[in-house]
Structure formats: C-alpha cells, structure tokens
C-alpha cells in the first residue's frame, strides 16, 4: 500500500524459501525464516530508498537495506508477524508498506456464531453415531490455548479402541541385531505392557521390544524375515525406503494380502543402498504405529567410506540411533478409532515425547566427543525441530544417503518418516539439552506461542575424549554431484503433478466455522496440536485427504501412473493454498529414491537421495524420481491419519 501522497509507487514482497537441507526453513526456536524479495516500481530516481521490517507493535525494527526500482533480494528475516516498510531518504518518511499474511490472523467475531459456539445444540450429523461416542475420555489440551465450550463438547463419532491384555509380557528396550547375508530373522508383532512416566499401558511391539529390534545389515546383503502376526488385528510389515522386490513391500491390496491374526509371512529382503531405514506396519498405521510398532534398519557402511562418498563411522567417537515418537495420553490412555481414525484433520499429536520409547533420553559423553545421531521420525503426524544446546551440529545425510556437502545447522526439521544423520560435537563440559522447539499457533486468537520439550540430557564429562576428531569435524566435506545433470531438470516442465488437498462433509458447526475463519492464514507447518478438540473429533468418515492429478482430475488410487524403468521422472507436488485446511504433508514413495529439486521454485543447492519429502502448507516441491526398481509402489502421505483417510496412490514402474 502506498502512503497518502505517494501516488504512482507500487511494490510487492515475496517471502521466498531460504535454500538449505530442509524444505522448511525455521530458526532453532521454531520461527519461520524467509528471504524477502521486494519488487518496486515508480520510485523517484532523484531520491534513495530503504526497506525495513517491523513487528506490528513497532517494538522491533530492522533495516533490510537500500532498494531500487526492480527486484531487490534482501537479508533473511525470522519475524512471525511483521510489516515491511519502504522509506524515502533523507526525510525518513515511509512511502510504501505491506503486511505479512500472518498479521491477518485476528480473533474471530465470536458473535458471528455464538449459538453454535456455545455448548449446544449437538450436531445433527453426529446424532447417528451417539452410541459410538460413549466411552471416550477427555483429551488433554494445552493451557496456552483458547477453547470454546462447543469445542470442548466434541467427541469422535467412532468406537474407541485400545488393546487389553493384562497378561501381556512387559516390553524390553530395543536390542541390536547384526544380520549377515543369508541370515533369517524371526519377527513377531504382539501385545506388550509398558510403563511410561509411572503409568502402565497395553501397547504393541515387535519381538516385545521398544522400538523393535535395530537391524544392522551390510549393503548388498539379503535376509529372510519369518514374520508372525500376534496382534488381535490384521497387519503387514513395510520396509520403509528399502529398494526391495515389491512382493515384499508389505502393502495390503497392492502387493500382498493383509495377514489375519495368527498368520505368518516370509519376507525376502535385499539392501542395495547404505543408509538408515525403518520398518512399520502398513495397515491402520494410525493405530498400529501409534501403539509402538516400528524399528530401525541401519545398512552399513554408512555413509559410504574410504574412496566412496561420505565420512565413515571411523570419523566419530560414537553412534546413536534415535527413534522420535509422541504418545497421546490423558488421565487414562486416549483410545484410537476402531472403524476409522480420529484426528483425521491434523493427525494425532502426542503429549509425551519419546526417544527410543523412553521419555527421558540420557547419554554420557566426554568433552570434545563427536557423536553421530541417526534420527528417524516415527510419530503419526508431528514434525520435529530438534537441537542440542551448547553444541555444534552438522547435517551429513538424509533418508537414503549423504548430502552433496556437509552443512552446519542450528536444528533438524524432520517430518514423519524422514531420516537425518547429524554429527554433533560436545565442546563444553556440563550438560547439553536435546530439545524440540517449535511455535504453536492459537488459532482462535491468532497468537503464536513457544513450545519447548526436553527430549533428553547429554552429560559431558570434563575429561577430553580420545581420539579427538575435532579437526575432521571442523571441516565441511564436499562430494561430487549425485547425478551428473540434476540441474538440467530444474527448467524442464514436470512430467506429472499432484495437488494435495482435502474434502470434508458433516463436520460439526463449530469446526466448520472456526476452520473457515482460520483459513485466512496457514503456517508452513502445523507444529503441534493447537486445535485439539476439533482435530480429535474429526474422523476418516468426515475428512477425505486427496492426491489429485490436475492433468486428468483423477484422485488417489485412480491416478495410477506408469513409468519406464531407468528413467528420471519429475513430479511437482502442489500443496493447495486454498484448501479448507492447509497443512504440511510428508509424501513418501515406496521402492524408489528421489531428489528434492526445488521448493517454491528455489533450487535445492545441496542434494541427497530421499524417499520422503515434507511439503509445507501452500508450497510447491519438485522431486526427481529415479525410477529404477520395477513393480507396483505406493505414493502417499505419511501422516498416519491422512493415509487412513485416503491420501494415497500407486505407481507402476515397468
């Protein structure tokens, strides 16, 4: 907007994506980072102009720099709500101003829906399911949130489900299994009891362990897994990210029949790529994964060492394989939806953060120790922003191999099913906190607030570690490009596109109204469950998540693309901006690997092979699929509730 009297001037600010190892750019404390690109016209050539960024309260103002007519790329900003001002020098008066989209969040006019906003009437759509609504305990809500009475009255219209078995064995911590070429593993999914923070729960586990056994194998090896379903429900096992034979990919209805309780299946696995992978069921992940069915697979040597790409484990003092998860518990465990998932809108956020199944991760190291952390996100929907206080961290690798160059990072943004490998050096004796730091959003009052979870403590002894890898740690290694011509694909039009969106019906009045008011602005990532009641009460019967091919209009499993083996396929993932509820989606492709070429048109300057990419709300992400592995493969959102609410398709590689 031009200031009064400043006619003929106009400008536009694009909040561009700062390139980095992640598709979401945030500070260590979770604030979104942007590169402002300001296009200006009509400025007088006789004067000079300066751009500023200011918080709405004007309590903090930062000079961005001089600007001219045309395109001005300015320094990065990390304000949440802000105004951009262009001033004229030397008078200092402003001539143009603009507001960030986040400033459009206002407390809604409550009178507009005051009747529906109160505790009654109950929604007609839910009357049909009154029986199912009985038996739900209350979900916990954050004291930082504003909630309406009618929100507090919402309940999911499905039957509550929790496993019950008071004789189930007590689960044990995960054990490491080193498997050689040709070895056979006996794996069983079953019911266990676990005590977390003094409360005992009946949960699921692989081989009675949390997480399931850590499988350590060598690249190029093959193993056999004799799997037994000891659950009261049907299941399969999916080997996430492993480019195996599709017969053993574990997708019911596509490559195998779901196993009824008591049934067995033999999986033949091969591991062509070094990296950190994981396994989990591919039936009702919103239930089975939430209850504890997941384990890691470390394919060595990783990263490839010696003359090959990557820094080997000989360059670090220690390796830690960490599975991140969050469990939702109230005064009693919060049940899951029997017929259909609860939390179908945003996914089930937990309130107890778990590292390898434990709420208080502990590690003791010596001063100067370099620790390689392999991070896997096994949570249903939570995207984490993790960091270690008082320690430098660099990112080394992602899902299926090393980055083209190592990079210093302040925090790791990891969406569901993604993996990152980071090296951390603990220089100062004392203790370092392992934190998840994000910014929640109180949707009703349009207010951002801080959420900090301490996931664990690393105790650093005063005594120096030997050997000292400090010199190797201080250098950022660079490697040759992953493929020769990745950049040539940047300017090519995509071969295919998918629109990520949703459809809802019969949502309660208060949910519909609040979501409509809220749709004026979506944060790039829904970091925490800040609509706990509305989200909880939305089921897969009311919410259908969609992958739509804009070329054909076909949706979800009807899309059915075919790729020729040995080709590279460029796919554009478009997270629809005008969706009823916009949020991030971690999109996973089975059986193949891909590169993230660009985010919102900004080229990725440091590539890594991946199998899961986090597509922020309202964003466009271009990926380049290496269609090397023939077969039938799923492409889906890895938010467990979105998957259970339809957000999947499949592709065929001939």
Pairing of strands 567-575, 496-504: parallel
Pairing of strands 160-161, 401-408: unpaired
Q: How far is the CB of 502 from Cu ion (least distance, A)?
A: 9
Helices (H), 509-596: 509-518, 532-537
Should residue 498 be labelled a site residue for Cu ion when binding is judged by CB under 5 A?
no
Q: How far is the CB of 542 from Cu ion (least distance, A)?
A: 16
Measured from the CB atom, is 347 or 401 closer to Cu ion? 347
Should residue 13 be labelled a site residue for Cu ion when binding is judged by CB under 5 A?
no
Structure tokens at 20: 């980095």
Measured from the CB atom, is 244 or 547 closer to Cu ion? 547
- Contact range with Cu ion by CB under 5 A, out of 233-241, 305-313, 353-361, 640-648: 640-648
Give yes or no for a contact between 530 and 351, defined as CB atoms under 8 angstroms apart: no
Residue 133, SS3 per DSSP: helix
Should residue 155 be labelled a site residue for Cu ion when binding is judged by CB under 5 A?
no
Closest by Cα among 519, 583, 389, 527 to 26: 527
x/- string (CB under 5 A) for Cu ion, residues 536-575?
----------------------------------------
Q: How far is the CB of 650 from Cu ion (least distance, A)?
A: 16
Should residue 636 be labelled a site residue for Cu ion when binding is judged by CB under 5 A?
no
Count, residues near Cu ion per rule CB under 5 A = 4
The footprint of Cu ion on residues 577-596 (CB under 5 A) is 585
Should residue 634 be labelled a site residue for Cu ion when binding is judged by CB under 5 A?
no
Measured from the CB atom, is 83 or 644 closer to Cu ion? 644
Structure tokens at 541: 């019967």
Should residue 15 be labelled a site residue for Cu ion when binding is judged by CB under 5 A?
no
393 cis-preceded (ω within 30 degrees of 0): no
DSSP code at position 494: P
Should residue 642 be labelled a site residue for Cu ion when binding is judged by CB under 5 A?
yes
Measured from the CB atom, is 498 or 607 closer to Cu ion? 498
Residue 511, SS3 per DSSP: helix
Q: CA 418 to CA 278: how far, in whole Å?
A: 10
Tally of CB atoms within 10 A around 44: 13
Q: How far is the CB of 24 from Cu ion (least distance, A)?
A: 14
Q: How far is the CB of 520 from Cu ion (least distance, A)?
A: 21
Closest by Cα among 370, 474, 527, 477 to 27: 527
Measured from the CB atom, is 386 or 547 closer to Cu ion? 547
- Contact range with Cu ion by CB under 5 A, out of 59-67, 99-107, 118-126, 631-639: 631-639
Q: How far is the CB of 639 from Cu ion (least distance, A)?
A: 4
Should residue 637 be labelled a site residue for Cu ion when binding is judged by CB under 5 A?
yes
For Cu ion, which residue of 438, 639, 640, 651 counts as binding (CB under 5 A)?
639
Q: How far is the CB of 380 from Cu ion (least distance, A)?
A: 11
Measured from the CB atom, is 214 or 637 closer to Cu ion? 637
303 exposed, middle or buried (CB, 10 Å; 0-12, 13-18, 19+)? buried
Q: CA 163 to CA 165: how far, in whole Å?
A: 7
Q: CA 224 to CA 247: how far, in whole Å?
A: 13
Q: How far is the CB of 583 from Cu ion (least distance, A)?
A: 7
- Contact range with Cu ion by CB under 5 A, out of 115-123, 280-288, 513-521, 630-638: 630-638
Segments of 292-380 assigned E as strands: 295-300, 318-327, 336-337, 352-355, 361-367, 369-377
Structure tokens at 97: 């101003």
Should residue 348 be labelled a site residue for Cu ion when binding is judged by CB under 5 A?
no
What stretch of H or E contains 529? none
Q: CA 599 to CA 132: how far, in whole Å?
A: 43
Measured from the CB atom, is 456 or 646 closer to Cu ion? 646
Q: How far is the CB of 599 from Cu ion (least distance, A)?
A: 17
Residues forming the site for Cu ion (CB under 5 A): 585, 637, 639, 642
């Amino acid at each position: 907007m031009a200031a009064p009297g400043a006619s003929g001037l106009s400008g536009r600010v694009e909040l561009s994506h700062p390139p980095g190892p992640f598709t979401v750019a945030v500070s260590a404390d979770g604030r979104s980072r942007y590169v402002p690109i300001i296009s200006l016209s009509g400025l007088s050539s006789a004067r000079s102009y300066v751009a500023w960024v200011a918080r709405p309260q004007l309590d903090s103002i930062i000079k961005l720099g001089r600007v001219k007519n045309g395109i001005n790329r300015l320094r990065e900003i990390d304000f949440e709500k802000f105004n951009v001002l262009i001033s004229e020098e030397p008078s200092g008066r402003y001539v143009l101003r603009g507001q960030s989209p986040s400033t459009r969040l206002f407390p809604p006019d409550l009178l507009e829906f005051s009747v529906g906003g109160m505790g009654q009437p109950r929604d007609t759509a839910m009357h049909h399911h009154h029986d199912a609504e009985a038996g739900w305990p209350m979900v916990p809500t954050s004291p930082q949130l504003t909630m309406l009475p009618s929100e507090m009255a919402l309940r999911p219209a499905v039957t509550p489900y929790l496993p019950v078995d008071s004789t189930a064995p007590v689960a044990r911590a995960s054990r490491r299994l080193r498997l050689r070429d040709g070895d056979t593993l006996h794996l069983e999914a079953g019911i266990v009891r676990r005590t977390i923070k003094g409360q005992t729960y009946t949960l699921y586990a692989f081989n009675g362990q949390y997480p399931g056994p850590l499988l350590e194998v060598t690249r190029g090896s093959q193993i056999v897994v004799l799997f037994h379903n000891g659950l009261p429900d049907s299941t399969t096992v999916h080997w996430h990210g492993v480019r195996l034979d599709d017969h053993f990919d574990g997708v019911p209805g596509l490559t195998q029949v779901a196993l009824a309780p008591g049934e067995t299946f033999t999986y033949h696995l091969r591991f062509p790529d070094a990296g950190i992978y994981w396994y989990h069921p591919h039936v009702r992940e919103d239930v089975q994964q939430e209850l504890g069915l997941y384990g890691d697979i470390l394919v060595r040597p990783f990263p490839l060492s010696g003359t090959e790409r990557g820094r080997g484990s000989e360059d670090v003092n220690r390796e830690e394989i960490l599975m991140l998860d969050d469990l939702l518990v109230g005064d009693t465990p919060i049940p899951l939806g029997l017929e259909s998932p609860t939390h179908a809108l945003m996914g089930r956020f937990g309130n107890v953060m778990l590292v390898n199944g434990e709420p208080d991760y502990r590690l003791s190291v010596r001063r100067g120790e370099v620790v390689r952390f392999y991070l896997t996100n096994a949570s249903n929907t939570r995207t984490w922003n993790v960091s270690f206080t008082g320690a430098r961290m660099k990112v080394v690798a992602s899902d299926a191999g090393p980055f083209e160059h190592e990079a210093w990072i302040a925090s790791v943004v990891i969406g569901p099913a993604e993996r990152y490998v980071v090296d951390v050096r603990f220089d100062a004796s004392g203790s370092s906190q392992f934190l998840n730091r994000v910014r929640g959003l109180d949707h009703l009052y349009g207010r951002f607030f801080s959420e900090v979870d301490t996931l664990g403590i690393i105790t650093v002894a005063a005594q120096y570690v030997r050997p000292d890898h400090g010199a190797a740690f201080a250098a950022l290694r660079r490697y040759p490009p992953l493929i020769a011509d990745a950049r040539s694909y940047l300017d090519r039009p995509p071969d295919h596109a998918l629109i990520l969106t949703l459809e809802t019906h019969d949502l309660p009045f208060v949910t519909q109204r609040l979501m409509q008011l809220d749709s004026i602005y979506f944060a790039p990532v829904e970091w925490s469950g800040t609509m706990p009641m509305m989200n909880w009460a939305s089921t897969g019967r009311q919410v259908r998540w969609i992958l739509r091919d804009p070329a054909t209009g076909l949706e979800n499993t009807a899309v059915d693309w075919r790729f020729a083996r040995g080709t590279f396929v460029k796919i554009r993932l478009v997270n629809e901006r005008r969706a009823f509820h916009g949020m991030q989606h971690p999109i996973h492709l089975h059986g193949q690997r891909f590169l993230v070429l660009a985010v919102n048109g900004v080229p990725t300057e440091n590539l890594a092979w991946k199998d899961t990419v986090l597509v922020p709300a309202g964003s466009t992400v271009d990926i380049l699929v290496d269609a090397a592995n023939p077969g039938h493969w799923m492409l889906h959102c890895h938010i467990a509730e979105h998957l259970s609410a339809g957000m999947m398709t499949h592709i065929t590689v001939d």
